Structures are given as C-alpha cells and as structure tokens.
Structure 1
C-alpha cells in the first residue's frame, strides 16, 4: 500500500483574485498522481520541492491523511515547505503533528509554513515550538 493511500493529490490551477501571487517563489508544479482522500481535505504534493499545499480542514476525520503526507515529505530529508493559505481549520493535534515531524528533520533542515492561518501561529506559540526548526512566514 502506498504511503499516500488516503491522500488525493490533484492538479489545481492557482488563482489569486487580489493580484499577483503572494509568494516570492514561483508556483511549484503539482504532482499529477491522484489518490482518494477524506472529505474536506485536499493535499497537493509539490514537486520538485519537498512540500505540500493544503486546502480544507485538518481535524480528527482528516488527521491520518495529514500525518501520512507530512511523514512522506519529511522522509526525503530536505527542507519541508507547507503552503497553507487555503487551510480553513487545523486542530491542536494537527498542529502538534507539524512540530512532531519538524523535530524529526535532519540537522540544518527546516519546515517552512507559507501563509499559515493566524490561529496556527498562535497555537504553535502556545505549544512551545520555538526550539524546533519551524519557520513561520509572516505576510
């Protein structure tokens, strides 16, 4: 069974009705591999970067897919980029998984959170992620 057994990887056009893209990086290509996923969550694997674009909500019903996707990109041993502009909700356990996986990255590697929701930044502060290699991008 593939590690992405419960994650749907899709190609979706990126559009920003407010003007040019907010990231300084060019939009990375999205993997064309498609799998099934839980309702309410789409996780796009970003290639060639070790990254994920997350659309939807991370809660108890989607947490397994989230955990497997995080573990898969972290297993490459590179910096991990999470594009979270379209993340509508993440529970505390989903946030804790970010810190847990960041703690397993090789020395010198970091997890970058691009455009995270404000609540995610707050919860990361509350659970004490300051000593972990997590970089929160501030707009």
Structure 2
C-alpha cells in the first residue's frame, strides 16, 4: 500500500509504466520503497521524501531493497532532502548498486547520507 498521494493513494500503474509503492517502516522513522524511481514516479518519491523530512528527528531510514532503479533525478531529490535536514542523517539501506555510485559522483562525502549496501 502506498503513502497517500494528494489525499488518496497513488493510482495503480498502467501496463508498461513504472510503479512506486512507499510505506512507513514499522518501529522507526523511515520509509520502504518498492518499484522504480523515475520520471513517471518522481512526484510520488519527492512527496514521500518531503513527508519523511517533516518527521525527521535525527536519523531517518530509507529501505530500498525492493527498488529496481533510481534515476539521477531521484538520487538528486534524496541528496537535496538530506542536505536540507537541520540535524542528523538519512540511512539508505540496500539500495540498487548504481545509487551509491551516483551519490559519490555528484555529492562525494555527503555527511547527511549513510549507505548500507545490498
């Protein structure tokens, strides 16, 4: 089940279109994402990150083991969100292999993001 999007749930994906489901992580501040983060799902991703930033109190978690792909704009949204946090960091757990490489390429040594590889 996805995080509410514009007052309701994200509409189901059409055949051939990427889908993204986002749900809260039980027991800790964070979200779990499933699917793809791309142009077709970016608004939903950015809304989920904004909601996460609003709940952030020191450490927030992103569980991405079921995410197949994150485009550069999706990684940018993550980096910008993390840089905008007043304190603490975002721990990205089990991202797709290319996500840490994109972070290192464009935001080397960004202290607000900690990546736990697959």
Shorter chain as normaliser: what TM range?
Answer: 0.7 to 0.9
1:73 correspondence with 2:52: yes
Q: Distance in 2 between matches of 1:70 and 1:43?
A: 10
Q: Is the 8 A contact 1:6 1:37 kept in 2?
A: no
SS in 1 for 2:55: coil
Higher helix share: 2
d(CA) in 2 for partners of 1:75, 1:130: 24
| Residue segments in structure 1 that go unaligned for 5+ positions in a row | 8-33
Q: Label 1:51 to 1:129 Cα distance change in 2 as closer, same or farther (>3 A).
A: farther
The CA deviation at 1:76 is: 1.5
TM-score (norm 2): 0.83
2:5 equivalent to 1:5: yes
Whether the 8 Å CA contact 1:99–1:132 is kept in 2: the answer is no
Secondary structure, aligned partner of 2:49: helix
Could you give the per-residue CA deviations for residues 95-132 of structure 1, whole angstroms, max 9, x where no partner exists?
Answer: 0011000011122x110000111100111111114134
Unaligned runs of 5+ in 2: 14-18
Partner-residue secondary structure (3-state), 1:82: strand
Counterpart CA distance in 2 for 1:36 and 1:57 is: 14
The structure in which a higher percent of residues are strand is 2
* 2-structure distance, mates of 1:77, 1:88: 25
Q: Secondary structure at the match of 2:61?
A: strand
Indicate which of 124, 135, 139 corresponds to 2:103: 124
Higher Cα Rg, which structure: 1
TM-score (norm 1): 0.71
Question: Residues 38 and 65 of structure 1 are in contact (CA less than 8 Å); yes or no, is this contact kept in structure 2?
Answer: no
